[in-house]
């Protein structure tokens, strides 16, 4: 018990945190003399009767200088991508649905790393001179678009990507970030992604990916993360590491439960791999170094189960969840786990999270692996939430102007966690906001207003640091990076920004212009809160990529909603209408002017006179007779010709008036 006692001391823990990556790194260096591949699956029951399945595949290739440029396991396409575009780091995600931060958790590594905004998100850091970064980015988008059958190439245009300095991740100059919120994600993106795995979906854990079941889920995010040290010195380089993850949130079919426990509505649905995916694991991918399935129980769930246990079985209270699963009162597992790992909780006085580990090596086609979880008692728990709940919405109406508001609400978690800055005397909660706004949303950054607890605040009091790069019409989007410091006791905060809606050229409208335009999700980051989860593992941490990923000290991160802004959409036949009507009016004007110029007034008078005397214009006479009848005036001979010119000009004026009204009508109501 000496080790946990020592670890409880924060300083030691901190030093451990600091050294852990180095140890990992050393271990990695030691083992990465040849390419390897590992596959893992993490399952986690979620509080709202759903199940999270997180596939994690990692391929590693050693440095080219030691291993040569020919690969045995590592996908050729990716290594060529790295070599050709000098990619240092890259992440591409395809997502459908929105991560529910309240119910599915906002304070764990998966929600911070794998919850992504809907559509496509791509960021990349290049190892090229700063002036070539844009070119590399453009080429990379095209290559990825071909590789993944997606319209990633739309990120080529400089209006769609931005170069954040410090708001997203610290890589000034060589980082590019772009999103396509409208991109639809489907199996045609998954197939090329699977092609990068050595076993594709033929064997191993990826064989579980039954397309209908994973696409009918509530959330689906497929991610590719690449880290390469190809261009660093040989010593420091650990080669290329490719991490492919697929995160799905699915609702298990709960028919069986309803049948048997119809009176128990609170009971969580029991599930098994077959009920979620319709398939079983019939063995590992033979090329994988390790193939493991994890079942993770939340801190909240474990606490709840502990409580249940204490309540139910007072006789043997010393048995807790992580010591044996058979004695567990809350649920039952169909397969005995090979190992049970308990989280080392240093800071919080909360119950630790528990992970059950299952090695797939043991299973084969004759003995398939089908993990099932059956709930025995109704359990209600909640996931750990991010310190502040972030949401973003639009204000204002009409097609002219509006405002974006980011609202931050404190969650109950934040109160407990807010002791991080206590040591400095004044408690502050630091929040980083990164937002990209397309150029047609002309944001006025001087209108930033900050409200804390619904009271307006001086901007300089709250905003610690701010970097704004205003949008340039049709050239670049507006980027806002902000560091805000709120007082700890704060209940809610809001940031508003006013904007004008711009006008697009008729060529720039998308085919479905009336749907509205998307503002990409803003990123809210809490740099003082880290999602590190330390599990007590006896030997190689390096063995499991998910667990080593959990240990990484990443800041808590959340994406806000994507906003849909309706812009004025023109009638797309309007240019022709306008051309036609203005040309007609101009032609009329021109013609009549010409006629007026060559009019012979005296001659007309004379001819009118002679006509009147001869009464030749029978038709005219008839007409004027009719009109006289209509007017109710006695018929008289056509008016003296002296009036005729004024008569004509009045007609002209009338005509121009009518045309003018038509133009007006066309412009304002057409």
Partner 1 sequence: MAEITEPLLPAKEAPETSKPQEPALDFDPKTMRKTKPGVKRLILTVSVLFSFVLGVPFIYKSVEIYRAPLPFREIESLSAQIDSKPFQFPCRLQAIFIGFDWKSSIATLESSILTQMTKLTSQTPQCGTCSPNHTVSVILKSNSQCLQSRTTSCSPECGAIRSIELDGDDEAVDEVLESVLGGCSGSNSGSGGEVYSVVVVNRGEEVRAVVGKYRHAWIVGRVSEAEAVSWAAEIFVKVFVNGGKEEGLIHGEFMPVGADGTVVLSFNLLNADPRDWVYDWDFQSVDETLLAPIIEAMKPVANISVESQVLYHMPKSSLSYWDDKWDSYIFSTKDLPFFVNSNEWHLDTSIAAGGRSKMLHFVIYIPSAKECPLLLQLPDGEISKTNSFISPMWGGVIVWNPQTCRKDSESKRPSRHTISHQDLQKVFEVFMGQFRQLFGFKSDNLYVGASGTSSLLASERGFTVWELDVLSRMHTCFNLHSCATTLGSLSRLVQSLPRMIIMDEIGKQVKYSLEAAKLAQSNASHGIYNASAVSSRQARSLAEDAFFHPSIMSVSYYSFEHCFAVYSPFFLPVSIHVLLAAVREWRRHKQENKKYLAWKTKVVSS
Pair type for strands 492-501 and 441-452: antiparallel
Can you tell me the distance from the alpha carbon of 423 to that of 526, in angstroms, rounded to the nearest whole number?
Answer: 18
Stretch touching partner 1 by CB under 8 A, among 191-199, 488-496, 558-566, 627-635: 191-199
C-beta separation of 158 from 212 below 8 A: no
Residues 558, 219: Cα–Cα separation, whole Å: 15
Sheet hosting strand 372-375, strand order edge to edge: 271-272, 372-375, 331-333
Question: Least CB distance from residue 542 to partner 1, whole Å?
Answer: 20
**Shortest CB 318 distance to partner 1, Å:** 38
Query: Closest distance between partner 1 and the C-beta of residue 361, in Å?
Result: 7
Return d(Cα 29, Cα 25) in angstroms, integer.
6
Record the tokens describing residue 589, joined without a space. 């004007």
Query: Which CB atom, from 192 or from 372, has the smaller least distance to partner 1?
Result: 192
User: Please, which residue, 365 or 458, has the CB nearer to partner 1?
Assistant: 365
* Residue in 597, 613, 634, 636 binding partner 1, rule: CB under 8 A: 597
- Candidates 599, 625, 643, 653; binder of partner 1 (CB under 8 A) is 599
Q: Which is nearer to partner 1, 470 or 638 (CB)?
A: 638
Among 594, 626, 654, 661, binds partner 1 (CB under 8 A): 594
Determine the size of the site formed for partner 1 (CB under 8 A).
57
Contacts with partner 1, 59-88, as mask; x by CB under 8 A? ---------x-xxxx-xxx--xx-xx----
Among the listed ranges 54-62, 104-112, 444-452, 587-595, the one in contact with partner 1 (CB under 8 A) is: 587-595
- Contact (Cβ atoms closer than 8 angstroms) between residue 295 and residue 333: yes
**Tokens at residue 339, please?**
């190992």
**Rounded-to-integer distance, Cα 16 and Cα 23, Å:** 10
* Helix (H), strand (E), coil (C) string for 552-581: CCCEEEEECCCEEECCCCCCCCHHHHHHHH
Chain positions 113 to 172 lying near partner 1, rule: CB under 8 A, are 143, 146-147
Query: Two tokens at 37?
Result: 């591949």
Q: Which residue in 512, 571, 603, 636 binds partner 1 (CB under 8 A)?
A: 603
| 333-362 footprint of partner 1 as x/- string (CB under 8 A) | ----------------------------x-
Contact present, 139 and 202 (Cβ < 8 Å): no
Helix or strand run (H / E) with residue 607: helix 601-614
Question: Min. distance of Cβ 282 from partner 1 in angstroms?
Answer: 11
- Is 598 one of the binding residues for partner 1 (CB under 8 A)? yes
The reply on whether position 666 binds partner 1 by CB under 8 A is no
Residue 81 CA to residue 74 CA, distance in Å, equals: 12
Q: Is residue 195 within the footprint of partner 1 (CB under 8 A)?
A: yes
Mark the segment that binds partner 1 (CB under 8 A) among 89-97, 461-469, 539-547, 603-611. 603-611
Instruction: Give the tokens for residue 29.
Output: 């260096």
Is the CB of 66 or the CB of 260 nearer to partner 1?
Answer: 66
286 binds partner 1, rule: CB under 8 A:
yes
The residue assigned the tokens 């005296």 is: 602
Q: Which is nearer to partner 1, 568 or 607 (CB)?
A: 607
Handedness of CA 199, 203, 208, 210 (dihedral sign): positive
Question: What one-character DSSP code corresponds to residue 170?
Answer: S
The HSE-up count of residue 249 (CA atoms within 13 Å, CB side) is 22
* Chain Cα centroid distance, residue 157: 19
Tokens at residue 147, please?
Answer: 């590789």
As a whole number of angstroms, the distance between CA 396 and CA 355 comes to 48
> Does 203 contact partner 1 by CB under 8 A?
yes
Please identify, using beta-carbon distances, which residue of 281 and 488 lies nearer to partner 1: 281
Interface positions, 452-491, toward partner 1 (CB under 8 A):
none
Q: What tokens appear for 606 in the block?
A: 């004379």
Position 592 contacts partner 1 (CB under 8 A): yes
Interface residue with partner 1, options 15, 65, 515, 607 (CB under 8 A): 607
Largest alpha-carbon pair distance within the chain?
A: 131
Tell me which of 15, 66, 327, 584 binds partner 1, using CB under 8 A. Answer: 584
Site for partner 1 contains 591 (CB under 8 A) = yes
Note whether 644 binds partner 1 by CB under 8 A.
yes
* Site residues for partner 1 per CB under 8 A: 68, 70-73, 75-77, 80-81, 83-84, 143, 146-147, 195, 198-200, 202-203, 283, 286-287, 361, 364, 576, 579-580, 582-584, 586-588, 590-592, 594-600, 602-604, 606-608, 610, 644, 648, 651-652, 655
């Amino acid at each position: 018990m000496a080790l946990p006692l020592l670890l409880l001391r924060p300083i030691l823990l901190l030093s451990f945190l600091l050294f852990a990556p180095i140890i990992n790194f050393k271990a990695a260096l030691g083992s990465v003399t040849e390419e390897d591949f590992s596959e893992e699956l993490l399952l986690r029951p979620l509080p709202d009767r759903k199940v999270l399945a997180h596939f994690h595949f990692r391929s590693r290739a050693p440095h080219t200088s030691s291993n040569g440029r020919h690969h045995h396991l590592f996908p050729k396409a990716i290594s060529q991508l790295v070599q050709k575009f000098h990619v240092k780091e890259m992440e591409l995600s395809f997502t459908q649905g929105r991560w529910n931060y309240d119910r599915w958790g906002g304070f764990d590594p998966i929600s911070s790393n794998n919850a992504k905004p809907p559509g496509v998100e791509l960021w990349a850091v290049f190892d090229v001179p700063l002036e070539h970064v844009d070119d590399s980015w453009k080429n990379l988008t095209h290559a990825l678009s071909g590789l993944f059958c997606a319209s990633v190439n739309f990120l080529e245009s400089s209006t769609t990507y931005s170069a954040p300095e410090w708001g997203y991740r610290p890589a000034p100059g060589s980082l590019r970030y772009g999103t396509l919120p409208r991109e639809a994600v489907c199996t045609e993106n998954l197939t090329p992604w699977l092609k990068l795995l050595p076993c594709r979906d033929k064997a191993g854990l990826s064989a579980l990916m039954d397309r209908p079941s994973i696409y009918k889920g509530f959330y689906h995010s497929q991610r590719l993360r690449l880290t390469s040290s190809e261009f660093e010195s040989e010593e420091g380089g650990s080669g290329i590491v490719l991490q492919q993850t697929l995160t799905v949130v699915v609702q298990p079919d709960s028919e069986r439960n309803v049948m048997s426990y119809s009176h128990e509505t609170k009971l969580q649905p029991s599930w098994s791999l077959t009920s979620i995916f319709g398939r079983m694991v019939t063995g590992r991918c033979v090329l994988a170094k390790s193939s493991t399935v994890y079942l993770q129980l939340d801190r909240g769930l474990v606490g709840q189960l502990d409580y249940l246990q204490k309540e139910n079985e007072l006789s043997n209270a010393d048995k807790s969840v992580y010591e044996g699963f058979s004695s567990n009162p809350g649920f039952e597992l169909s397969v005995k786990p090979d190992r049970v790992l308990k989280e080392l909780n240093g800071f919080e006085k909360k119950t630790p999270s528990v992970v059950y580990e299952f090695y797939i090596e043991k299973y084969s086609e004759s003995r398939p692996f089908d993990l099932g979880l059956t709930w025995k008692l109704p359990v209600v728990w909640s996931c750990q939430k991010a310190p502040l709940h972030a949401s973003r919405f639009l204000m204002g109406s009409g097609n002219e102007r509006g405002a974006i508001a980011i609202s931050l609400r404190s969650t109950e978690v934040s109160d407990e966690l807010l002791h991080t800055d206590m040591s400095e005397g004044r408690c502050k909660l630091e929040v980083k906001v990164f937002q990209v706004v397309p150029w047609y949303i002309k944001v006025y950054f001087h209108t930033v207003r900050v409200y804390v607890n619904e009271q307006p605040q001086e901007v300089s009091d709250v905003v610690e640091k701010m970097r704004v790069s205003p949008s340039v019409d049709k050239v670049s989007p507006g980027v806002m990076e902000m560091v805000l410091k709120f007082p700890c006791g704060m209940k809610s905060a809001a940031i508003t920004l006013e904007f004008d809606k711009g006008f697009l050229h008729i060529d720039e409208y998308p085919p479905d212009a009336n749907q509205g335009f998307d503002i990409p999700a803003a990123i809210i980051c809490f740099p003082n809160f880290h999602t590190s989860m330390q599990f007590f593992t006896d030997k190689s941490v390096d063995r499991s990529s998910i667990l080593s990923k959990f240990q990484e000290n990443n800041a808590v991160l959340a994406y806000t909603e994507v906003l849909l802004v309706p812009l004025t959409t023109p009638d797309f036949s309007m240019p022709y209408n306008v051309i036609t009507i203005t040309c007609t009016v101009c032609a009329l004007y021109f013609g009549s002017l010409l006629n007026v110029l060559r009019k012979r007034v005296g001659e007309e008078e004379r001819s009118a006179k002679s006509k009147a005397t001869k009464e030749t214009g029978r038709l005219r006479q008839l007409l004027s007779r009719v009109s006289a009848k209509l007017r109710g005036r006695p018929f008289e001979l056509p008016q003296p010709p002296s009036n005729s010119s004024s008569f004509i000009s009045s007609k002209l004026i009338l005509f121009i008036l009518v045309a003018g009204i038509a133009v007006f009508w066309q412009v304002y109501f057409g």
